[in-house]
């Protein structure tokens, strides 16, 4: 049985289609990502799967439970960490954990065991008397995560969990996610707009304007790019851009800071392009082949 099964799931708000007939499944113990910009429909999808929002049409099953008919059962089987961490900022770390233990009806020895586990795995044992709102962002993030795990859910939904968190804290967070996967076989569905972060997922669905534009492993998605990808950096940004736009064999041009990622027809010789730029009086600082990133894939697919 799949941990999550979705078929033609749709959500409309009046005339606005937030999620448009998406179909996918997630295997037990898999880390699955929904990758897309803000407003793409990621949060709406998660809220439907958690039983918090009724779909307009389509179907879905989470842990074997129907998201329309059995949404109350789903709430007991999943953990949900929202974008804003769902913490009470005026309570201490310990009081937040106590509060969520109460929500999940944990009592006695089981409550103490889960509370001790949460403090230990989050690295918050020495901070348990601190006010949650005064914690650094990375620790708030970890506290919110363990609060969503106190009832030992089999499926965990993480909605933009590392938004606004520094790169080191993001790395530690993902280490914690994979510890949960390895130790407890937890299924994880995570949404993100960080392209590099999505590399941590075993499979990814690229979502834009409520629709899936591709789905697969990071490698499978990168293999969708059939052109050769090169990095070009010069001292003449605008002149380089205009020159590249005139080349029929330059299939795509994506700005990256003060450089470009360009997609070349593999039948063409990149040295000829380089020489042509030099002949045009463009001073080249970098010209090198690249392995396409998920951002390259995403932007390229959107343009197509």
Asked if residue 114 lies in contact with residue 100, where contact means CB atoms within 8 angstroms, the answer is: no
Say what the pTM is.
0.88
Res. 210: pLDDT tops 90: yes
Asked if residue 97 lies in contact with residue 146, where contact means CB atoms within 8 angstroms, the answer is: yes
User: Which CATH number is associated with domain 4-86+148-222?
Assistant: 3.40.50.300
87: Cβ contacts below 8 Å, ≥ 6 apart: 96, 132, 133, 140, 143, 144, 147
Classify domain 228-303 at the CATH topology level. Answer: Alpha-Beta Plaits (3.30.70)
Q: Which residue ranges make up each domain of the chain?
A: 4-86+148-222, 228-303
To which H or E segment does residue 231 belong?
strand 228-234
Residue 133 DSSP code: G
Res. 208: pLDDT tops 90: yes
Say if residue 261 is exposed, middle or buried (CB neighbours under 10 Å; 0-12, 13-18, 19+): buried
Closest to 33 (Cα-Cα) out of 181, 222, 200, 184: 200
Question: What are the tens digits of pLDDT across the range 110-157?
Answer: 999 999 999 998 899 999 999 998 988 888 888 989 999 999 999 999
Closest to 35 (Cα-Cα) out of 243, 295, 296, 301: 295
According to DSSP, the residues that pair with 203 across neighbouring strands are: 32
Say if residue 289 is exposed, middle or buried (CB neighbours under 10 Å; 0-12, 13-18, 19+): exposed
Question: What are the tens digits of pLDDT across the range 235-267?
Answer: 999 999 999 999 988 988 999 889 999 999 888
CA 29 distance to own-chain centroid:
17
The two three-digit tokens of residue 178, written as one number:
């994979």
136: Cβ contacts below 8 Å, ≥ 6 apart: 169
Q: How far apart are CA 188 and CA 33, in angstroms?
A: 8
Res. 7: pLDDT tops 70: yes
Q: How far apart are the first and last CA of the chain?
A: 35
Residue with the two structure tokens 């009086």: 281
């Amino acid at each position: 049985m799949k941990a999550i099964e979705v078929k033609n799931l749709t959500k409309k708000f009046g005339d606005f289609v937030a999620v448009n007939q998406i179909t996918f499944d997630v295997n037990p113990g898999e880390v699955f990502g929904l990758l897309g910009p803000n407003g793409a429909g990621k949060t709406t999808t998660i809220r439907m799967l958690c039983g918090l929002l009724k779909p307009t049409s389509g179907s879905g099953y989470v842990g074997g439970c129907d998201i329309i008919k059995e949404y109350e059962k789903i709430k007991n089987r999943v953990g949900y960490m929202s974008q804003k961490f769902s913490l009470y900022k005026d309570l201490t770390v310990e009081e937040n954990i106590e509060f969520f233990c109460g929500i999940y009806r944990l009592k006695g020895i089981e409550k103490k065991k889960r509370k001790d586990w949460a403090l230990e795995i989050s690295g918050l044992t020495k901070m348990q008397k601190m006010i949650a709102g005064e914690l650094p962002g990375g620790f708030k993030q970890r506290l919110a995560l363990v609060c969503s795990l106190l009832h030992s859910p089999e499926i965990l939904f993480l909605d933009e969990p590392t938004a606004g968190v520094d790169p080191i804290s993001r790395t530690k967070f993902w280490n914690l996610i994979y510890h949960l996967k390895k130790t407890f076989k937890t299924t994880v569905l995570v949404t993100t707009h960080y392209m590099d972060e999505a590399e941590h997922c075993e499979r990814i669905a690229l979502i834009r304007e409520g629709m899936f534009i591709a789905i697969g492993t990071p490698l499978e998605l990168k293999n969708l790019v059939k052109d050769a990808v090169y990095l070009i950096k010069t001292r003449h940004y605008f002149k380089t851009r205009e020159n590249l736009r005139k080349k029929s064999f330059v299939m795509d041009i994506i700005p990256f800071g003060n450089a470009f990622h360009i997609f070349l027809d593999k039948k063409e010789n990149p040295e000829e392009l380089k020489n042509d730029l030099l002949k045009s009086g463009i001073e080249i600082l970098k010209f090198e082949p690249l392995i396409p990133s998920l951002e390259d894939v995403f932007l390229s697919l959107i343009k197509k």
